[in-house]
């Protein structure tokens, strides 16, 4: 009887479980959509080289990556880089990494990137995380993930070191 009473009133716990489950389902659906794109049309079998994907040739997608970089630069984002991670990472194709000097500038960069991609005809982000502290904000567009850091957080996580072997946008274009 006591357990039933506690469970019924633990709405916060239930919301956390539902939120985690929806994240898992969303990531799984995006992964399955990407897998469909690698299917060989003639045999309907997965391609022999799923890990060695070439950079996406879709001009619209690359233009949205460029728009995100330009919007970050317009709001004085520092060291803005775009990495093609689609060949080694299954959950997304592009990372855009930039940083602001303080939390207010991070907020301005996030708002500018979201607005610029929307104006360019791009999608709305499926999720934006980190708006509570604005030290590291992650904007998930499915094909593109935009990381906006404060300088301290960027130095701590050092994503450039982690993705130094993947092609960058200026080398692809």
Spell out the per-residue pLDDT of the chain, length 173, in tens. 444 444 444 455 445 555 555 555 455 455 555 444 433 333 334 434 444 444 444 778 899 999 999 999 999 999 999 999 988 988 999 999 999 999 999 999 999 999 999 999 889 999 999 999 999 999 999 899 999 999 999 999 998 898 888 988 874 44
CA 165 to chain CA mean position, Å: 19
Fold of 59-172: Beta Polymerase; domain 2 (3.30.460)
Its pTM stands at: 0.65
CB atoms within 10 A of CB 33: 11
């Amino acid at each position: 009887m006591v357990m039933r009473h506690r469970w019924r009133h633990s709405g916060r716990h239930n919301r956390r479980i539902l939120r985690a489950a929806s994240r898992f389902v969303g990531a799984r659906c995006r992964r399955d959509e990407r897998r469909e794109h690698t299917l060989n049309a003639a045999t309907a079998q997965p391609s022999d080289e799923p890990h060695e994907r070439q950079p996406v040739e879709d001009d619209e997608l690359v233009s949205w990556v460029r728009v995100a970089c330009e919007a970050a630069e317009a709001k004085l984002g520092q060291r803005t880089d775009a990495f093609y991670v689609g060949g080694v990472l299954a959950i997304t194709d592009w990372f855009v990494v930039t940083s602001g000097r303080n939390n207010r500038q991070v907020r301005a960069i996030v708002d500018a990137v979201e607005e610029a991609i929307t104006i360019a005809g791009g999608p709305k982000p499926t999720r934006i995380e980190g708006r509570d502290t604005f030290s590291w904000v992650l904007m998930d567009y499915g094909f593109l993930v935009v990381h906006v850091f404060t300088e301290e957080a960027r130095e701590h996580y050092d994503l450039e070191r982690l993705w130094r072997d993947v092609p960058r946008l200026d080398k692809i274009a």
